């Protein structure tokens, strides 16, 4: 069995998958390179949606219904902001705000985003190694018929209703991987690309040149799980973004985006017809249930990914 894995992750889809993975592997053996492209500054605070979604989920405190935020949180601070006439479209709960205040304070005191994330994880009792993809800034800008905007503005403030024309990765050229990221790819016995948005979650991670290079060079097997099922998304705007970029919304399109990196691609059983076409891209394709409704589904999918990474398995 695979011993040490490194995962590439966005928010909600990845968090569900990782809930299964931590039931199989010791947390200490898992490194997660997480997207920080959704990071946003609001009220002078540094918000890191994807790292927080992973942290809260794995710590068992996430609002399960939404997939983000903290369970039973209150919104007193946000209500007060509203009284002061501030914009409150991004729903930050009181407990969640504590994370952002502490993160911002640590960043101000000279800690890097990677160090801050480590501190937060430790305080929440986590032993997984969550590494922001970069300590720098890569903010994908969504170019729409309404203008260019931050991803959260496109998704939350404007409800993903604008026509997407392009996605621009500002800052990607000059971004460096967070210390430990490249080593985690080189030392892993297998790499998993979680079922996350390929454009704005995995896209920004792969836009960091050295990360993409390390993934190409690693001798460990790389498996990806399709976030696209039956020509649509389970959650989030991946379909709209893919369409905006001129891509067909299919598991095949996701495999095509990752083709230079992958050994194995897991697609949903409803998309079995795409299997052969995907294998012609030069990777093994496995059709299985990828919808994670229960904990058993999550564990089963994680086990399938681990088995697919095991070089002794085939």
Binding site for ligand FO1 (CB under 6 A): 10-12, 38, 49-50, 52-53, 68-69, 90-92, 96, 152, 155-156
Which of 149, 156 has the CB closer to ligand FO1?
A: 156
CB of 283 to ligand FO1, least distance (A): 26
Which of 155, 220 has the CB closer to ligand FO1?
A: 155
Which of 22, 92 has the CB closer to ligand FO1?
A: 92
Of 58, 56, 60, 38, nearest to 47 (Cα)? 38
CB of 91 to ligand FO1, least distance (A): 3
Say if strands 232-233 and 228-229 run parallel, antiparallel, or are unpaired.
Answer: antiparallel
CB of 285 to ligand FO1, least distance (A): 26
CB of 92 to ligand FO1, least distance (A): 5
Cβ-Cβ contacts under 8 Å for 117 (sequence gap 6 or more): 34, 48, 51, 55, 130, 131, 132
CB of 225 to ligand FO1, least distance (A): 16
Strands of the 284-288 sheet, one edge to the other: 129-132, 30-34, 5-9, 190-193, 221-225, 264-268, 284-288
Of 128, 70, 78, 131, nearest to 99 (Cα)? 70
Number of other CB atoms surrounding residue 118 within 10 Å: 18
Which of 72, 312 has the CB closer to ligand FO1?
A: 72
CB of 293 to ligand FO1, least distance (A): 19
Which of 119, 303 has the CB closer to ligand FO1?
A: 119
What is the three-class DSSP state of 42?
strand
CA gap 192, 121 in Å, rounded: 21
**Cα 241–chain centre separation:** 15
Which of 90, 146 has the CB closer to ligand FO1?
A: 90
**Cα 244–chain centre separation:** 20
């Amino acid at each position: 069995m695979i011993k040490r894995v490194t995962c590439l992750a966005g928010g909600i889809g990845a968090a569900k998958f990782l809930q299964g993975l931590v039931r199989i592997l010791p947390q200490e053996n898992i490194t997660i390179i997480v997207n920080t492209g959704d990071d946003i500054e609001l009220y002078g605070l540094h918000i890191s949606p994807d790292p927080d979604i992973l942290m809260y989920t794995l710590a068992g405190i996430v609002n399960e219904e939404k997939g983000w935020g903290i369970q039973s949180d209150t919104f007193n601070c946000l209500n007060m902001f509203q009284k002061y006439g501030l914009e409150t479209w991004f729903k930050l709960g009181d407990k969640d705000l504590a994370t952002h205040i502490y993160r911002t304070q640590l960043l101000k005191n000279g800690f890097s985003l990677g160090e801050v994330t480590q501190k937060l994880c430790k305080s929440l009792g986590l032993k997984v190694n969550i590494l922001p993809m970069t300590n720098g800034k890569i903010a994908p800008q969504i170019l729409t018929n309404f203008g260019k905007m931050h991803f959260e503005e496109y998704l939350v403030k404007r409800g993903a209703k604008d026509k997407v024309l392009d996605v621009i990765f500002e800052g990607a050229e000059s971004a460096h991987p967070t210390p430990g990221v490249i080593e985690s790819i080189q030392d892993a016995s297998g790499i998993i690309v979680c079922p996350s948005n390929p454009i704005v979650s995995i896209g920004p991670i792969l836009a960091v040149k050295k990360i993409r290079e390390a993934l190409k060079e690693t001798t460990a097997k790389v498996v990806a799980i399709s976030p696209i099922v039956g020509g649509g998304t389970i959650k989030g705007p991946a379909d709209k973004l893919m369409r905006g970029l001129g891509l067909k919304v299919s598991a095949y399109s996701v495999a095509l985006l990752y083709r230079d990196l992958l050994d194995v691609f897991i697609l949903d059983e409803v998309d079995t017809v795409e299997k052969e076409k995907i294998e012609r891209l030069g990777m093994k394709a496995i059709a299985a249930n990828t919808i994670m409704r229960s904990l058993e589904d999550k564990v089963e999918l994680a086990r399938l990914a681990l088995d697919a990474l095991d070089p002794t398995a085939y």
